[in-house]
Structure 1
């Protein structure tokens, strides 16, 4: 086999690029349907229409509805986090404010509902939920590990995550800056 010519794509790399582009397009379309419409709107026909592909393409690569939900959740990617300054209270408030912004920008409330509903019984969704939660909580866990451990640590992480998640899911509103700051102060006073 001849070595590849620099600057020229092989047939495999062209196909790989096309597959990656299709996967990205379908993932974004499925995520759009999930966050702008609902779980019920995720059908092969509808996602294919939004993505600009045929139903056959979707059925070939993502044969079940669960496959479409999985690729939608994969399309969420990594959540934005801020670089810590070393001032614990300020960093916790900044991280929760970034989380609040991500809930709004990425419509995470709708994604969290799907993860809560299906993550209990569907292993693939559970794994995606665990990955998203682990990545989302990583900065809080890192910061709080400097002042708490054991049950106090776990409770502090849950309480601070909950200030955004509970307000969003239970009351359909994002917490204010004042509520975030008060939650941080209450947690820090308790640990």
Structure 2
């Protein structure tokens, strides 16, 4: 969770923090982890390297703060209650974030540096949860608990491969077909949450 710097802190320090972290986020999105250096962040934010080092001693400190900012500012389409319409909007938003918002670059960075410890693993989880938050909420509303994560993985995985690896746009037609293939075959795919009933474990006559 991002540290709250607002309570009892000099406004000048708050402004420095805001400017530096935002400059780092811009660098990270545009060029990935390798683009983030104290020197370049200082140049872009307008502060000295000494100031940047004083608040963020390591490059990872800068990257972690900027990813937290990106996640905190992420927004998603509002749910309407219609399963397929809400999934369509969320998946198109996810595809846009991959292609235009450079979410794929952020995810690639945390995957590449995963061996550096639990802190990086935490950032990977934060990015995944942020990117899929709206879809998970929609699926939780309409599907049984056991179906949410598998269906979420199928939907987001298909879009990720299509956009990032195949380099193809996730058109509305592609997304609609994907939803029908995945949700139409899942438990609760009719758009209602499944509840257990007596005899569910037995085949009907």
Shorter-chain TM-score above 0.5: yes
Q: Is the 8 A contact 1:28 1:72 kept in 2?
A: yes
Q: Is the 8 A contact 1:35 1:107 kept in 2?
A: yes
Matches within 5 A, 1:50-129: 50-76=44-70, 77-129=72-124
Q: Structure 1 runs of 4+ off > 4 angstroms?
A: none
Please name the residue that 1:143 is paired with. 138
TM score, norm. by length of structure 2: 0.77
In the alignment, which of 19, 26, 29 is matched to residue 25 of structure 1? 19
Stretches of structure 2 that go unaligned for 5 or more consecutive residues are: 1-6, 187-205
- What's the Cα RMSD here? 2.0
Aligned length: 178
- Distance in 2 (CA, whole Å) between partners of 1:135 and 1:38 is 18
Shift, 1:60, TM fit: 0.8
Shift, 1:24, TM fit: 1.6
- Distance in 2 (CA, whole Å) between partners of 1:173 and 1:52 is 38
Asked if residue 37 in structure 1 is aligned to residue 31 in structure 2, the reply is yes
Stretches of structure 1 that go unaligned for 5 or more consecutive residues are: 1-11
Deviations 1:37-96 (A, max 9, x none): 232221111111111111101111111111121122122124221221111111100111
TM score, norm. by length of structure 1: 0.82
